[in-house]
A = this chain, B = another copy of it.
Amino acid sequence: MVAFSEARSNRLLAVLPDAEWARWQEQLEMVEMPLGQVLYESGATLHHVYFPATAIVSLLYVMENGASAEIAVVGNEGMIGVALFMGGESTPSRAVVQSAGYGFRLRARLMLEEFNRAGPVMHLLLRYTQALITQMAQTAACNRHHSLDQQLCRWLLLSMDRLSGSQLTMTQELIANMLGVRREGVTEAALKLQKAGLIRYARGHINVLDRPGLEARTCECYAVVKREYDRLLPDQVAT
């Protein structure tokens, strides 16, 4: 159970109607989410759903040969575990904490009960799922058509949006894993950005110096996804 009103630093929790929030407060469990933690494994049954507050989580697909690709990023605007209420108890992807922080979780059974009330919670979660679908679709198209340089910018911007401040802790190796490219490729792309004065990079710490600069270099995919999230998940939700 959570006494902290900080739980509402997750935007889905923040827009819960008062009645639901009163119930949930009893059941939400605050959890640390350390770097690299696996929230669920491909094909495994989901026992909790997670609502990140300060952490960022990647949904990754890991191929048979070990290569991986990020399918979507989830931060304090969303939740991990939509497959639970969509009716598959699992998904063929893995959820990994990409940036350490904390969040909240709810037991699967409770989440299902709440969803099945078929009220505002359900509609909120479905709209969120729709936003997530958009992100996945855009990722598919972006993987097909855009350069590593552009994708790195997109990725940095997506991460920035989910953090406070302009600093992120993230090695190039990690980023390469997420984007499904070679580490050297990320090094080169990051150097270009650094030389252009858009970021500063040092041993796992990235400082974004010129956000508009990144936005100018990224592909349309970033804006499309952001617009869709804003459209589907406004700060105030009609209850």
Contacts and interface: CB of A to CB of B under 8 A. Distances in A.
Interface of A: 59, 61, 63-64, 67, 69, 71, 82-83, 85-88, 91-93, 116, 118, 122-123, 126-127, 129-134, 136-141, 143-145, 180, 220, 224, 228, 231-232
Tell me the dominant secondary structure on chain A's binding face: helix
Q: For the complex formed by this chain, how many copies does it contain in all?
A: 2
B86 A126 contact: yes
A130 B123 CA distance: 16
Given A92-B224, A145-B67, A133 B130 contact: no
A137 B138 contact: no
Nearest to A127: B87
A87 B126 contact: yes
A86 B143 contact: no
9 contacts: A63-B220, A64-B220, A86-B133, A87-B130, A118-B122, A129-B133, A136-B140, A140-B143, A144-B180
